[in-house]
Amino acid sequence: MPRIIRVNMQTLEVKHQPVDKSYLRLGGRGLTSWIVSQEVPPTCHPLSEKNKLIIAPGLLSGTGVPLSNKLSIGAKSPMTGGIKESNVGGTTSFNLARLGIKAIILEGKPKDDALYVLHISSDKVSLLQANEYRGCGNYELHQKLRERYGDRVSILSIGQAGEMRLLAASIASSDVKGHPSRHAARGGLGAVMGSKGIKAVITDKATSNQIEIKDKKTLQKLSKDLAQKLVQTKAGLTKYGTAQMVDTANALGGMASYNFHRGSFEQAELINAETLYRNITQRGGEPSVPCMPGCVVRCSNLYRDKNGRYLTSSLEYETIVLMGSNCGISDLDVIASLDYHCDDYGLDTIDTGNVIALMMEAGVLPFGDGGRALKLLQEVEKGSVMGRVVGSGASVVGKILGLDRVPVVKNQGMPAYDPRTFKGMGTTYATSPMGADHTAGPAIPGRGGLDPSKTYDLTDPRGQVELSRDLQIIIAVCDAMGWCFFVGPDPNTMHLTAKLLNACYGWQVSFEDVVEMGRRILRWERDFNRSAGFTKAHDRLPAFMLEEKQPPSGRIFDVDQNEIENMFS
């Protein structure tokens, strides 16, 4: 039977609880957001004992369905002040699901300043003191934990940023090669984990599968067909990864450059997918790596330096742009080094890239100076005042520097798609309960909504509210399943979701039931945020996006604000 592990960090008690009936049809983001909405006071301080950190595999995790092993982590965000779910690849979701663990709930705060690791095996769960790991970055920590617990464990951990409870702190997840390179990065959930005194959650490899599949033949057929389709349709992602978006966004004039002063970068060819692929293949890296078990798209990569030494994995569009063109940096090796240090310290590369660009705008260092950007980031490891500022996110840094052009929504830094070109994405930034988050409703070229007969021009303000709303509903479902959204956020995926759930669990859900699941998750999240003090004024982009014409396109963000404020009515 599935169970929930509840860990009280004040009493240091670990309890195994049967799954309440109301939880049985929830997983991933659906379960994290439901538990947060039921158990966390919306007005509590995010780093207080009243907040809780929820870790939950998706409903399809561990079943053998392709791309279904993402892990959801949820809490009240110290960055946005609202509800937060951040999902991540790696191997933990797969193992938790197969061990029959529906969720882990970390609650309370330790009475002392001790650090702990939570070790989960097939027969017991142990909470162990771990003060010897204090101050370890994620790379050193994962190496030491594997030496102690074995090479086959899955690890979730925080680096120095999480220990210091910095607002941009992430939670690292070990990938299939053991690198701490996958991150639940957004919203500062690493700071919440640090406030609970947990340095790492270690999960032993599942030796058996406790998921009882009701119709194995149908599930296997659906999974095989899906895998074949993904291999055929995602070949570009497999070869080039998400970096293939660099040339597209740059050509459209929607790629964040020079702290969002421009939508194109004159040296884009030095940081695009072709250059990345050439560097990787010439240096003995790996251009195509799975980020989790069952990943057939393999859009991650392993990047080496000029001497063939491991540097980071994986370099993706958001990091390349926010730490590259948005800072005027055109050297992929520098960008990869910045990415490595963020992974090691446990920092969100999106917010940190925005921070560095804001520092450049304020004259702390010049645009394009990668060497000084690296030195600035390395202050985080030292725990200096400057390092703590750097790790506190774009909203805080913008206030400290007295800047009025700060690309944040709900205090969270914007991803690399400029809303003045990607108007549906900008609508998602404005309205998602998660703050500025491209994965919450990814309105990029070629994406449609729930009505397959409708098409949308991403640069035209018309229809973007409907598109964003539909994509947010679909993505909420994908997150609840444990799916990477490269499975395809579209109506066909919602139909397939119903078939897979019915085969896996013996349910009788329809397309409409699945879509309603997504709507319900968004309602819980928006209700929580309203109770936390959010108003319609929070669903806005910064004023400069509405007023400042973006070179070279001359566009502004002109989606009707009244439509935006009423999109979830």
CA distances from 442 to 74, 102, 128, 222, 458 (A): 20, 27, 40, 25, 11
With beta carbons less than 8 A apart as the criterion, state whether 107 and 128 touch. no
Q: Which residues contact 414 (CB under 8 A, 6 or more apart)?
A: 256, 260, 350, 354, 407, 408, 429, 436
What does residue 257 show for φ and ψ, rounded to 5 degrees?
A: -145, 140
Each residue's pLDDT tens digit, 497-536: 999 999 999 999 999 999 999 999 999 999 999 999 999 9
Residue 144: exposed, middle, or buried by beta-carbon count in 10 A (0-12, 13-18, 19+)? middle
With beta carbons less than 8 A apart as the criterion, state whether 143 and 162 touch. no
Distance (Å, rounded) from C-alpha 66 to C-alpha 200? 27
Band (pLDDT 50/70/90 cuts) for residue 220 is very high
Each residue's pLDDT tens digit, 271-318: 999 999 999 999 999 999 999 999 999 999 999 999 999 999 999 999
Question: Which pLDDT score, from 0 to 100, does residue 20 have?
Answer: 87
Question: Which pLDDT score, from 0 to 100, does residue 132 have?
Answer: 98
Question: Which pLDDT score, from 0 to 100, does residue 506 have?
Answer: 97
Distance (Å, rounded) from C-alpha 15 to C-alpha 482? 25
The residue written with tokens 């520092």 in the block is: 359
pLDDT beyond 90 at 208? no
CA distances from 477 to 34, 222, 557 (A): 14, 18, 28
Distance (Å, rounded) from C-alpha 562 to C-alpha 254? 24
Segment 428-448 shows an average pLDDT of 95
Segment 236-247 shows an average pLDDT of 97
pLDDT beyond 90 at 1? no
pLDDT beyond 90 at 198? yes
Domains of the chain: 3-203 (3.60.9.10), 235-413 (1.10.569.10), 423-565 (1.10.599.10)
pLDDT beyond 90 at 206? no
Segment 251-261 shows an average pLDDT of 97
Each residue's pLDDT tens digit, 399-416: 999 999 999 999 999 999
Each residue's pLDDT tens digit, 369-386: 999 999 999 999 999 999
Each residue's pLDDT tens digit, 461-495: 999 999 999 999 999 999 999 999 899 999 999 99
Chain-wide mean pLDDT for the chain? Answer: 97
Pairing of strands 71-76, 83-88: antiparallel
pLDDT beyond 90 at 22? no
3-state secondary structure of 480: helix
Band (pLDDT 50/70/90 cuts) for residue 228 is very high
With beta carbons less than 8 A apart as the criterion, state whether 301 and 314 touch. yes
Residue burial 494-525, b: 16+ Cβ < 10 Å; e: rest: bebbbbbbbbbbeeebebeebbebbebbbebb
Each residue's pLDDT tens digit, 74-114: 999 999 999 999 999 999 999 999 999 999 999 999 989 89
Distance (Å, rounded) from C-alpha 405 to C-alpha 543? 8
Question: Which pLDDT score, from 0 to 100, does residue 271 have?
Answer: 98
Q: Cβ of 560: how many Cβ atoms within 10 Å?
A: 13
3-state secondary structure of 431: helix
Question: Which pLDDT score, from 0 to 100, does residue 446 have?
Answer: 86
Each residue's pLDDT tens digit, 155-173: 999 999 999 999 999 999 9
Distance (Å, rounded) from C-alpha 369 to C-alpha 359? 11
